[in-house]
Structures are given as structure tokens and as C-alpha cells.
Amino acid sequence: MLVLSSPSGAGKTTLTRNLLEQENKDDPGKLELSVSATTRPKRQSEIEGVHYHFLDKGQFERMRDRDELLEWAEVHGNYYGTPRDPVEKALSEGRDVLFDIDWQGTRQLLDKMRDDVVTVFVLPPSAQELKSRLVRRAEDSDAVIAKRLKNAAEEFLHWNEYDYILVNRDLNKSFARLRAILTAERLKRVKMRNLEDFVGKLLTELKSITP
Ligand SMILES: Nc1nc2c(ncn2[C@@H]2O[C@H](COP(=O)(O)OP(=O)(O)O)[C@@H](O)[C@H]2O)c(=O)[nH]1
Ligand SMILES: Nc1ncnc2c1ncn2[C@@H]1O[C@H](COP(=O)(O)OP(=O)(O)O)[C@@H](O)[C@H]1O
């Protein structure tokens, strides 16, 4: 499980989309995005079921109360949560799962599955650039942008709960660094499947060619 968090506008959605596209080009189906449920209104560019499952408050609360969410939180005055089933299915089938969730949700995932979770916190190069990106994205009203900027102060404080920090100045560089994190994490001995079998085969082969 690879988690990206950041204050709104730092670039985590852009980075997750690029990562999914590139990874699935190289190894189709290996990395899956966890599509969250939310009560926030849909943005113009968003598609139901692709970017989020857009629910009303009652629908969300029913999912939460039936324990169908792996984690959930209230962010910027709306509910957000991770549907449990798709994540469990992907993991059981050996796929990696990418999450774009906030620090509250990250804490809940870590409490449940610490050994399997890698966390990345994305920071903007400056506060002014954070504001400019929110304005340039042109998806939210001035009031919504103001609220997100105000909440960024609280979110910044959680940087030290994450494994990796990406200061997202140049998008290409940040993307390359994110891929490096994923590659290195996949190469960790404890995360590699069937390694014992592989080394066993190497030993057998070695014996057969050793005089
Ligand atoms: N805990 C939790 N946070 C989420 C989830 N989905 C999205 N978020 C976070 O909610 C915040 C707002 O997301 P969004 O409304 O898409 O705005 P954006 O960050 O400005 O693109 C971001 O910090 C997301 O990472 C989720 O399923 N659980
Ligand atoms: N490194 C970067 N340099 C300049 N603009 C960026 C960079 N990364 C993201 N952006 C732009 O900033 C805006 C916010 O990015 P987004 O990925 O939506 O942020 P978040 O998901 O963290 O709220 C978008 O318009 C995006 O195209």
C-alpha cells in the first residue's frame, strides 16, 4: 500500500495519476488506485467511480456504520473514506494499491496494517506557489480555496509522520522520485514473494553445474 498525502494543491492527485499511467504501461494491473467515497460535490473534471464515488451524507454514514470503510475522516467539512472490499481484493491478488488520503486516514491505515504501508508526504515549494496552484487548477470557488489554504497549516504539521517527503517543485523530478520510492520498496526482501523458492532453485542449479 502506497499512501500519498499533502495539503490541497501540492500536487498529489497529479502525481498519483502519472504514477498509475506509467506503472500500468510497464506492468498492467500491478498498481491499482483506491477510489475513495466522498460527500464533497463533484468537480467539473471529475467522473463518478473514476476519481471518487460521490455519495450523500446518509449513504456515506450507512457505509461507515456497516464497517465497509477501511478508514474515514472529515476533511474540509466533507466526509472521505476508503471502501474496504476493493483494497482487500487487490491485495489478496498480489496487486499494489495507491491511496490519496489525508493524515487522519493514513494514521488509521498504519494502525491496522503498519508493515504493509509506505507513506509519502508531498509539500509545495512555497506557500505562495500552493495558493497559485489552487487558483490555476480553477476547480474550486474562492471560498473553497480559502478554506483549503487555511487548513493547509494543520496538514503541514503532520509531515513528520511519513516515511518519505517529496517537495514538489519540478513535476518531472518529483515523479521520478516517487517511482524510485515505489521501486525501492518493492525490492525490500520482506516484500518479495517466492524468494525462498527462487534461491532454492539457484542452489540446485549451482550444484548441477559445479564439478
Ligand atoms: N482520510 C481520507 N482522506 C481522503 C480520502 N480521499 C481523499 N482524501 C483527502 O481529502 C482531501 C481533499 O481531497 P479533495 O477534495 O479531492 O481535494 P484536493 O486535495 O484539493 O484535490 C485530500 O487531503 C485527500 O487526500 C479518503 O478516502 N480518506
Ligand atoms: N510540480 C508542479 N509544478 C506546477 N504545477 C503543478 C505541479 N504539480 C501539480 N501542479 C498543478 O497544481 C494544481 C494542483 O495539483 P493537484 O494534483 O490537483 O493537487 P492536490 O491533489 O494535492 O490537491 C494542478 O493544477 C496541477 O496541474
Domain boundaries, the chain: 2-186
Confidence grade of residue 190 (pLDDT, cut at 50, 70, 90): confident
CA 73 to chain CA centroid, Å, is 15
The pLDDT value given to residue 97: 97
Give the whole-angstrom CA distance, residue 8 versus residue 77. 13
What is the 100 CA–ligand 1 centroid distance (Å)?
Answer: 6
Please state which of the four CATH numbers 3.40.50.300, 3.30.420.480, 3.20.20.10, 3.20.20.70 is assigned to the domain occupying 2-186: 3.40.50.300
What residue owns the CA closest to ligand 1's atom 5? 101
Q: Which residue has the least CA distance to atom 1 on ligand 2? A: 171
Beta strand extents in the chain (DSSP E only): 2-5, 31-33, 37-38, 53-54, 69-75, 78-83, 96-100, 118-123, 164-167
Pocket of ligand 2 (CB under 6 A): 6, 8-14, 133, 136-137, 168, 170-171, 174
CA-proximal residue: ligand 1, atom 3 (nearest): 101
**Which cell goes with 105?**
486516514
User: If you average pLDDT over residues 124-139, what whole number do you get?
Assistant: 94
Is residue 182 classed as helix, strand or coil in its secondary structure?
helix
* 96 vs 122: CA distance, rounded Å: 20
pLDDT in tens, 77-95: 999 999 999 999 999 999 9
Do 54 and 38 form a contact (C-beta atoms < 8 A)?
yes
State pLDDT tens for residues 163-188: 999 999 999 999 999 999 999 999 99
Spatial distance between the Cα atoms of 2 and 110, rounded to a whole number of angstroms? 11
pLDDT 10s digits, 36-78: 999 999 999 999 999 999 999 999 999 999 999 999 999 999 9
Mean pLDDT value of segment 4-25: 95
Give the predicted TM-score (pTM) of the model: 0.94
The predicted-structure confidence for 106-129, as pLDDT tens digits, reads as follows 999 999 988 899 999 999 999 999
Instruction: Provide mean pLDDT across the span 25-30.
Output: 90
| ipTM for the assembly | 0.97
